[in-house]
Amino acid sequence: MSASYDLVPAPGVSFATHGRDLDSRLKERVAQLVLSAAWNPYVGVDVKTAGSALARGLKIEVEGTRSSIHRGAEAALRALVATRKPSQLFVPANAYPGFGRTAAATRTPIVGYRDAKDLERARRDDVVVVTLPGSPVDVDDVGKLFAASVRCRASVVMDATFALLDAEGAAAVAETARSNSADLIVSASKSLGLAGVRLGLLLDRGQGDETEANPMELDVFQCAVLEALLENEGRAVADRAASVARRQRSLQARLVNALRKSGADVVHDGNAFAVTIRDPAPDEGRYGASGWKGYPRLGLVRLDASEAMTVRMEATR
């Protein structure tokens, strides 16, 4: 083992994570809580109470929902699918590989959809995942995707892992889920820039049986992080979400500007953590050894909206 626990992605793969760590004051508070906690018993949190507390800290409306905390967004979706037991799981084509792992873990047939028309095959006992924002691109207009899901009467889950959750972003995410009667999943990995912690929030709108969350799913460290973020009525989690949002909006705007100045064909800039461009033959010499992900079948490349990639593209003419 080494002093760094950073997971290094394979060549041509990128995690599109936030570049700034949590401030030392908050990390010290987490360390105090971990040291004061007993490690020998099983630990856990009241997943429903903690879920609603995290949502309130992020200013996400919880009325009409059943909330629960999970070990990341993928675990939240897996718990929902395991509870609902759908005949099929519809997910955006070329999207997050974790959807495939969820389907495999729950033994659910998975269907990748390329547009709203593909959702005409969904049925009432299926679950449809809509990602907002999409990655590497939006497969279709999100309104059309929700409308198609409503017509087939399938359960809809809105995966907002890449959403910004400052006051403006959280309000938009919550309203989109509410107005489309969709379950909502958000994650600390992107929105709070805490990929190393693994915390996910599910707001279930009662489209089926209440999701069975495991109260022992979080370990001592995760419980301590959650508690530290929610102290003082959730001020720390709101501040962190706002800080991440400000930086990501700035970096993404700079990156888009640099790419367009260089003549790149920007095909998707609706995701504050990455920008997708058309490039059927990506050159590592141009993008560097990391910070980007290629989609050869689509002829696309997704670039991280990071300081390193932004500076690199700003220097490219």
DSSP per residue, 118-142: GGGG--TT-EEEEESS-SSS-SS-H
Omega before 86 within 30 of 0, i.e. cis: no
Q: Report residue 4's pLDDT band, with 50, 70 and 90 as the boundaries.
A: confident
Q: Give the span between the Cα atoms of 125 and 209, in whole angstroms.
A: 12
> Strand ranges (DSSP E) for 3-154?
66-70, 89-92, 110-113, 127-131
Amino acid at site 5: Y
Q: Give the span between the Cα atoms of 51 and 43, in whole angstroms.
A: 16
Q: Give the span between the Cα atoms of 301 and 223, in whole angstroms.
A: 37
Q: Report residue 197's pLDDT band, with 50, 70 and 90 as the boundaries.
A: very high
Q: Give mean pLDDT, residues 293-313.
A: 94
Which has more pLDDT, 2 or 73? 73
pLDDT score recorded for residue 316: 83
Of residues 7, 50, 51, 23, the one with CA closest to residue 186: 51
Nearest-5° angle of CA 231, CA 234, CA 240?
110
How many other C-beta atoms are found inside a 10 Å radius of the C-beta of residue 224?
22
Amino acid at site 51: G
Whether 301 shows a pLDDT value over 70: the answer reads yes
Give the range among 123-137, 184-198, 255-269, 281-295 with minimum mean pLDDT: 281-295
How many other C-beta atoms are found inside a 10 Å radius of the C-beta of residue 227?
16
Under 8 Å between Cβ of 241 and 189 = no
Q: Give mean pLDDT, residues 281-286.
A: 87
pLDDT score recorded for residue 279: 95
Q: Give mean pLDDT, residues 92-121.
A: 94
pLDDT score recorded for residue 10: 78
Whether 207 shows a pLDDT value over 70: the answer reads no
Share of the chain above pLDDT 90, in %: 80
Q: Give mean pLDDT, residues 187-197.
A: 95
pLDDT score recorded for residue 11: 75
Q: Give the span between the Cα atoms of 294 and 311, in whole angstroms.
A: 20
- In angstroms, the Cα distances linking 213 to 128, 196, 247, 258 are 20, 21, 33, 44
Token representation of residue 201 = 């929030």
Which has more pLDDT, 252 or 212? 252
Best-predicted range by mean pLDDT (4-8, 159-163, 284-288)? 159-163
Which has more pLDDT, 211 or 166? 166
Which residues lie closer than 8 Å to 63 by C-beta, 6 or more apart? none
pLDDT score recorded for residue 1: 63
Q: Is the pTM of this model over 0.85?
A: yes
Give the range among 1-5, 28-32, 294-298 with minimum mean pLDDT: 1-5
pLDDT score recorded for residue 284: 82
pLDDT score recorded for residue 5: 86
Share of the chain above pLDDT 70, in %: 98
Helix, coil or strand: residue 258: helix
- pLDDT of 38-90, one tens digit each? 999 999 888 888 999 999 999 998 888 899 999 999 999 999 999 999 999 99
